[in-house]
Amino acid sequence: MFDQFEHEERINKTMQAINLMYENIGDELSVEQLEQIQSRHQLLIDQAQFWLEHDNQDRFFYDLKDFGNWLLNYLGWEDEHFNDG
């Protein structure tokens, strides 16, 4: 198991990767695609609130990483490094 510091590090690194993807989204996406991303992101926020209220960082990290991988695939970007960790 991971200690509190390791959990926070993994969560922070995954959030940084997701933020980097958001920063690099170009103008080529349609409104519908952006709405799909927004919808999945809102689901992540809802899940995060639930899991963090129940002090379940493992599950929060799982959902965060799942969203990051989904976004990576949805954008059509290939990066195996994101799957490490």
Domain locations along the chain: 31-80
Q: pTM, whole model, 2 decimals? A: 0.83
Average pLDDT over residues 15-22: 94
Average pLDDT over residues 34-58: 96
DSSP readout, the chain?
---HHHHHHHHHHHHHHHHHHHHT--TTS-HHHHHHHHHHHHHHHHHHHHHHHTT-HHHHHHHHHHHHHHHHHHTT---GGGG--
pLDDT value of residue 7: 80
